[in-house]
Amino acid sequence: MAAASGLSSDALADSAKSGKPAPAKPLTIVERLKRAGRLAALAETRSEHAKRQWEHLASADGAQCREALKKTGAVFRSLPDREKPDQKGCGIPHGVIVTKGPTGITYAGPLMIDCSLALTLPAVEKVIQEEALKHLGEPITRVTTLGTYSCRSVRGWKDRISQHALGNAMDMAAFTPKKGLPASVMRDYQIGVDQPTTARGRFLRAIYGRFWSEAGVTRVLGPEWDAAHRDHFHLDSGLRFWQR
């Protein structure tokens, strides 16, 4: 996981010696795309990007999605569907507010998200519960969130609308087991070490890695990505910046 952070070998070595998290390298998302050669993504205007992301979500059938969500066992209430975003490009096409997930996890605060993202919760929670039993010996009963819907741009890139502005992202900061202390991303996630030294650290590292391949989402950002995500895991299902 250390390679994903973009940290230098010297920074990782210093971190390992001191036992303290190494500082995330201050690369903006624009700089990362340039390094990756994703120039087409940079050429797209904010309005073009927002329109493409909106259509990606709005094309789903809201009623069918909510029926599917009911079958997962999640506890939620529906928001009115929106035919189009507001003047800033914000809004949730097929919104729901999830208070409890399919495995009984309570979300504090509730997830105000698009129904299509809510349908990833069975896979997300499967990862959480399997790794919780393995590393913590108890299931997770509560996830503390730092926010879902928020009408804003991508941090560090004002020309791109955030997936939070479409209800297509969720930020998870802490995971509380049935017994014991919560696993806090800010406190317990260890950056720049091959093997975390605590059970909570190993749990967090494990779910972060598995979210990428098993949670059914497009992006997973966390402490390995940049300083803005030092205290939470960001999960979203947006189209990639270069995806057409």
Number of CB atoms found within 10 A of residue 237's CB: 22
Q: What is the pLDDT of residue 10?
A: 42
pLDDT in tens, 208-244: 999 999 999 999 999 988 888 999 999 999 986 544 4
3-state SS of the chain is CHHHHCCCHHHHHHHHHHCCCCCCCCCCHHHHHHHHCCHHHHHCCHHHHHHHHHHHHHCCCHHHHHHHHHHCCCEEEECCCCCCCCCCCCCCCCEEEEEECCCCCEEEEEEEEEHHHHCCHHHHHHHHHHHHHHHCCCCEEEEEEEECCCCCEECCEEEEECHHHHCCEEEEEEEEECCCCCEEHHHHCCCCCCCCCCHHHHHHHHHHHHHHHHCCCCEEECCCCCHHHCCCEEEECCCCCCCC
pLDDT exceeds cutoff 90 at 80: yes
Is 39 within a domain? no
Q: What is the pLDDT of residue 221?
A: 93
- 22 within domain boundaries: no
Tell me if the pTM is above 0.85: no
Q: 84: domain range?
A: 2-16+46-236
In terms of pLDDT, which residue wins out, 203 or 50? 203
pLDDT one-digit tens code per residue, 158-192 = 778 899 999 999 999 999 999 999 999 999 999 98
| 219 within domain boundaries | yes
Token pair, residue 175, equals 């995971």
Is residue 115 domain-resident? yes
The answer to the question of residue 88 being in a domain is: yes
pLDDT on residue 42: 59
- Any domain includes 38: no
Domain count of the fold of the chain:
1
- Residues 85-136 have pLDDT tens digits of 998 899 999 999 999 999 999 999 999 999 999 999 999 999 999 999 999 9
Q: Residue 41: inside a domain, yes or no?
A: no
Is residue 36 one of the residues assigned to a domain?
A: no
Instruction: Considering only CA atoms, give the Rg of the chain.
Output: 18
